[in-house]
Structure 1
């Protein structure tokens, strides 16, 4: 039986961010003792809230639209105020990812918003844990991990004229996968540590 569950709670307007979500979930589940579940936050309801309540970690994902979360994700965030009032996600692990058409696209603002959202829920945030790639050195390549140089979470870029079968590029999906494994490993350590302390 899996020791922990990692939920990937995401919205994807055009399926590009969904590819990130699937990369996060698949990589998390590749770690022994971990189960991962995808949760589309556009479908608010009892199933969604029960799944997130059972999860040990929640990785939040949203496209960056007009320098922030999508309206659908924000609706979910505001609806979570009922959970917040009871501190239902307190001490769960949290992380985040985002995608936009622009290489920069002000994605950092979206990740900051996700981390603050997690902080309000008293969650424990896990960053990307990778040095920047691509333009950090002259030898950098667009196909390197963390090519967009984020620290707070995983970023991806999908040109507006490419469909989800072509974007994001594999390097950005690999970066999302790295985040999924990192969250799973940190959550396992945290859960096992709590078990030791309880004994």
Structure 2
């Protein structure tokens, strides 16, 4: 029997673009054999605290608004102080990663990814980076490359402000999100296997 690796994708989406990115992350994680994925909007987070205690990895996702995580996602982060942190390390040693989306090419998305990685560190989690080289950074590369925005810390997407989620983020950014999901699921699976051997 295959041991199940459990991955949760916890996200907020204001206009649907980050939800589409979250779905791609979940699809990537689910592509790894033996992985069970929970896609959780912070709008329903109170139903899922127990679920999050039982997963091997949590991938955090939020749009970048004004150089930071959205207010709704920040509300989720703050609520973990009483629902997680106060319980004493219930997320410790879980795998963590992050993704974000903004209308601007940069949009200070790095600040949001740094915010997410510090949040994970406060809970004693192990942060997983994107693991891709820069995508579109020469005259021979194109906008169709994975990691076209050349982020290292997590997956970043860009969605034009004047189009809906049916047109953004573009395919390259969604494939980058899938890569992150699969990478996290693989690392979580390796970590769980190592614990079983050492145990």
TM-score (norm 1): 0.97
- Once the two structures are superposed, the pairs formed by residues 91-170 of structure 1 within 5 Å of their partners are 91-134=93-136, 136-170=137-171
Give the Cα–Cα distance (whole angstroms) in 1 for the partners of residues 96 and 155 of structure 2: 13
Give the Cα–Cα distance (whole angstroms) in 1 for the partners of residues 93 and 45 of structure 2: 23
Which residues of structure 2 form unaligned runs of 5+? none
**Equivalent residue of 2:45, what SS?**
coil
- Once the two structures are superposed, the pairs formed by residues 9-158 of structure 1 within 5 Å of their partners are 9-45=10-46, 47-82=47-82, 83-85=84-86, 86-134=88-136, 136-158=137-159
TM-score (norm 2): 0.97
Dislocated runs of 4+, deviation >2 Å: none
Which residues of structure 1 form unaligned runs of 5+? none
Give the Cα–Cα distance (whole angstroms) in 2 for the partners of residues 23 and 58 of structure 1: 15
- Report how far residue 2 of structure 1 moved: 5.2
- Report how far residue 88 of structure 1 moved: 1.0
Contact (CA 8 Å) 1:156, 1:172: kept in 2 or not?
A: yes
Cα root mean square deviation, aligned: 0.9
- Report how far residue 143 of structure 1 moved: 0.7
